[in-house]
Amino acid sequence: MEYASFTRIAVLILLIAWLMYWSRKEQEAYRELPLRQPVGWYRMVSKVVIYGVFVWIILQLAGVIVIAPMEQPLLIPVGLALVLLGISISVVARRTLGNNWANAYEYQMKQGQKLVTTGIYRYIRHPIYLGMIVFFIGAGMVAQSWLWVSSIAWFIPAYVQAKREEELPFGKAYAAYKKRTRMFIPFIW
């Protein structure tokens, strides 16, 4: 099997494993700390968009040609490094949050939720978004698809959602936390 195909399959397996882990942790988090109120239509639309992104990535990695492929072998190892970095960031962040995690599209605090400022959250406020975007970019590179460039645009909705989440009522503790951390990139942004 050629290197490019092997790498695409490996990343596809990593993505599926990551999705299974995320689903299991989501169930645990909601069992321990349930939502305060049901969410409306926004949740469904957001969920469809998020799952659509994952389907798009899976299709790319499976070799479905959406647009002409980019024949740049150097993209494969760079993409693989970004995939591993993105998965690592998001899993470390998710583990640090524990049951305090909630889906972004639910936009509410859960019963008993606490502000987490330790671990990776000591340096950045939204590491899960960062990890997922880095993963999306890397997966597109591994698939040698020009679509990886469009993954950079995911910083826009991530930024908007992050700003929206920062309005949740964590009070003075969050204001102090915001002053000493960055949104996405430690010490920079």
User: Residue 28 belongs to a domain with what CATH number?
Assistant: 1.20.120.1630
Angle CA 1–65–5, to nearest 5: 15
Query: Residue 39: its pLDDT value, please?
Result: 58
Domain count of the fold of the chain? 1
More reliable by pLDDT, 44 or 173: 173
Query: What separation in angstroms does the CA of 161 have from each of 153, 164, 169?
Result: 14, 5, 15
Does residue 128 fall inside a structural domain? yes
124: β partners: 182
Query: Residue 38: its pLDDT value, please?
Result: 60
Domain that holds residue 142: 3-180
Quick check: 1 pLDDT over 70? no
- pTM score, two decimals? 0.86
Q: How high is the mean pLDDT of the chain?
A: 85
Does residue 83 fall inside a structural domain? yes
Is residue 100 a contact partner of residue 116, using CB atoms and an 8 Å limit?
yes
110: β partners: 35
Does residue 175 fall inside a structural domain? yes
Does residue 188 fall inside a structural domain? no
Query: Residue 58: its pLDDT value, please?
Result: 85
Does residue 189 fall inside a structural domain? no
Does residue 162 fall inside a structural domain? yes
Residue 92 pLDDT level (bands cut at 50, 70, 90): very high
Query: Residue 37: its pLDDT value, please?
Result: 62
User: What is the rounded CA–CA span in Å between residue 181 and residue 51?
Assistant: 30
Query: Residue 144: its pLDDT value, please?
Result: 86
Query: Residue 146: its pLDDT value, please?
Result: 77
- Per-residue pLDDT of 107-145, as tens digits, reads 667 778 889 999 999 999 999 999 999 998 999 899 888
Residue 54 pLDDT level (bands cut at 50, 70, 90): confident
- Per-residue pLDDT, averaged over 155-181, amounts to 85
Does residue 185 fall inside a structural domain? no
Is residue 114 a contact partner of residue 100, using CB atoms and an 8 Å limit?
yes
